[in-house]
Amino acid sequence: MKTPKQSYKKARVNKDKSFDGLFFFGVLTTGIFCRPSCPSPTAKEENVRYFDNIYLAIKNGFRACKRCYPDIYTNYSSDNIKGEIFLKKAVDLILKGYLNNKSVKSLADKLEISDRHLRKIFLKELGVSPIKFNNYNRIIYSKKLLLNSDLSITSIAFKSGFGSIRQFNKVFKDFISESPSDFRKSKK
């Protein structure tokens, strides 16, 4: 019987698109994480780490690949997440923008649980806090807009749910390691 790691290795080596979204892999030598179908040259197995979701890859210090865009081209919804019903409801609300102008405590109150318990669920199931989950999803949306629209960076910041350009630039740079304008220029 094959272990998940053996299946993941085979899918990664064969660049099997049917595994996209089921797992992600990071390459230690580059610090990049990818989808199984990434067109980049195949990394040596000893340099590869496997992750159940993009948030665990990010938490472990990996950045999204600029060839396969695992963060942009993987449809993430609460259906991808194992765990409690609270997490599914919280993720749905966050993806609809709930935390863009409300607190984690407010979200927990809406779910009728404590904010401490909500954070604990997120950390156990996704490996990140609700705030980091929200921030990264806003960055994913802004990356899509930067790549596929001519909107100004200011418009993109506000459309992505950020309260200011300064906040947008800081969070973007924290996750992507470059400014939004540098990201856009490098893709043109």
Same domain? 107 vs 174: yes
- 26 and 48 Cβ atoms separated by less than 8 Å: yes
Same domain? 117 vs 167: yes
Domain membership of residue 128 (yes or no) is yes
Rounded-to-integer distance, Cα 96 and Cα 182, Å:
28
Rounded-to-integer distance, Cα 161 and Cα 159, Å:
5
**Full residue range of the structural domain in which residue 128 is found:** 75-178
Task: Kindly report, residue by residue over 70-109, the tens digit of the pLDDT.
Answer: 888 776 554 445 446 788 889 999 999 999 889 999 999 9
Domain membership of residue 69 (yes or no) is no
pTM: 0.68
CB atoms within 10 A of CB 163: 11
Number of structural domains found in the chain = 2
Task: Kindly report, residue by residue over 30-65, the tens digit of the pLDDT.
Answer: 999 999 999 999 999 999 999 988 888 988 989 999
Same domain? 85 vs 171: yes
Same domain? 54 vs 138: no
Supply the CATH number for residue 136's domain: 1.10.10.60
Same domain? 47 vs 90: no
